[in-house]
Amino acid sequence: MDEFIPLSVPNLKGNELKYLTDAVEAEWVSTGGAYIDRYELEFADYLNVESAVACQSGTAGLHLALILSGVEADHEVIVPTLTFIAAVNPVKYLHAYPVFMDCDDSLCMDMEKLKEFCQTECDFIDNKLINNSSGRHIKAVVVVHVFGNMADMSAVMDIAEKYNLKVIEDATEALGTFYTKGRYKDRYAGTIANIGVYSFNGNKIITTGGGGMMVSTDSDIMKRAKYLSSQAKDDAVNFIHNEVGYNYRMTNLQAALGVAQLEQLERFISTKKENYSIYKSSINDDEMGGFRIFDFRDDIRSNYWFYSLYIVNPDKYPRDKIIESLAKANIQTRPLWGLIHEQRPYLHDQTYKIEKAFEFYNRIINIPCSSNLSSDDVYRVIDKIKVIHNKGVEF
Ligand SMILES: *Cc1c(COP(=O)(O)O)cnc(C)c1O
């Protein structure tokens, strides 16, 4: 049997063990320590922002981001349906309501539909966007930069400005992606809106086992992020807390891994880009009509986190059969996430003209993309996909 090729796994061959050992030897293992400060500084430096606040997970960061955006019970938050559920669950933590938006061809939120929804389904009264069907105040939008692509930030920032909405960037999949032209040239995913959130879960482009980071264009928000994530402690000696806080800080052990991973981020992106190019040049309409590799926007430098194989004719090549055939060859792939508006906790929430998300759901498979994938591995995946393409899935 050929060796197993996983979809996306950690790559820990730099200074991880060294820094981790250092943190353990110093006996600084909890939510304080030099590596946390260092990771925050170096992370902010990489993104060209003033500061960053480390937290326990991307989900925790998104929860705080909503709180810091003023989202409260009975508010509404516009979210994508095509995403990982952690981008949406924090809306429910706050007893607010999601409104689900469709995606466009970038797999990110369809900004035309977002604009149309605000224009035709809502009223703008007293500087508040009110959803006509529910009567509730829409407070914020969560945009997700899916698979390392970039949502159309120019469009969403204009809409948000017009309707007084806060924008939260879920950049958990897009660390390292930035605009190469246009209004936000050289700005990284996560650094454009009010608040951006990153994740260092095991399958992300860099990992700390679990962990996250928050950035903001507003330094007061960053101060509050740190405060709320550290139990809202106003007096460390007498334990005075003037607000309800959270235990959401990252540990020094996680941060030690993070510092080592960040040193390698650009190299990981280069490798991912090279492997993406091999896939892209081998799986196209000339070589394998009906299969192709999805593009990233052409005005960005992507981090190439996840690669998407697009199946033009899912009747001829059913998604799950392809996944099964590849699994038999010891190659791990996966379908898109189940759409969030179809998940049980969200069945009663509002949706707006969801069409494309269904189409992509049946036609996209994520194929191996780890930063330690060799070009031989990539060719093995391509050869297998070629066999499936030529013989059909029932070979
Ligand atoms: C990974 C991910 C998250 C959550 O990050 P965690 O660190 O695992 O909590 C949120 N949103 C999206 C789109 C993700 O891919």
Average pLDDT on 145-158 reads: 98
Neighbouring C-beta atoms of residue 344, cutoff 10 Å: 6
Q: Give the mutation target among 7, 8, 55, 59 for probing the ligand 1 site: most ligand atoms within 8 A of CB.
A: 59
- Kindly report the backbone phi and psi dihedral angles of residue 39, in degrees, each rounded to the nearest multiple of 5, phi listed first: -65, -45
Distance between Cα 239 and ligand 1 center (Å): 32
For the stretch 165-212, pLDDT in tens is 999 999 999 999 999 999 999 999 999 999 999 999 999 999 999 999
Q: Of all protein residues, whose CA lies closest to atom 6 belonging to ligand 1?
A: 58
How many angstroms separate the first and last alpha carbons of the chain? 18
Contact criterion met (CB below 8 Å) for 91 and 72? no
Confidence of residue 395 (pLDDT cuts 50, 70, 90): very low
CA 141 from centroid of its chain's CA atoms? 15
From the CA of 210, give the closest atom in ligand 1. Answer: 7
β-pair type (212-216, 195-199)? antiparallel
Ligand 1 neighbours (beta carbon < 6 A): 57-59, 83-84, 86-87, 144, 170, 172-173, 199, 201, 212
Closest CA to 283 of 257, 262, 307: 307
For the stretch 71-107, pLDDT in tens is 999 999 999 999 999 999 999 999 999 999 999 999 9
CA distance 197 to 59: 9
For the stretch 178-188, pLDDT in tens is 999 999 999 99
Contact criterion met (CB below 8 Å) for 245 and 227? yes
Q: Is the pTM of this model over 0.95?
A: yes
Cα dist from 201 to 129, 166, 190, 266, 272, whole Å? 35, 26, 17, 18, 18
From the CA of 211, give the closest atom in ligand 1. Answer: 7
pLDDT of residue 394: 63
The ranges of the chain annotated as CATH 3.40.640.10 are 16-262
The H or E element spanning position 291 is strand 291-293
From the CA of 62, give the closest atom in ligand 1. Answer: 10
Q: Provide the CATH number for the domain formed by 16-262 in this structure.
A: 3.40.640.10
β-pair type (52-55, 212-216)? antiparallel
The ranges of the chain annotated as CATH 3.90.1150.10 are 265-391
Determine the topology of domain 265-391 in CATH.
Aspartate Aminotransferase, domain 1 (3.90.1150)
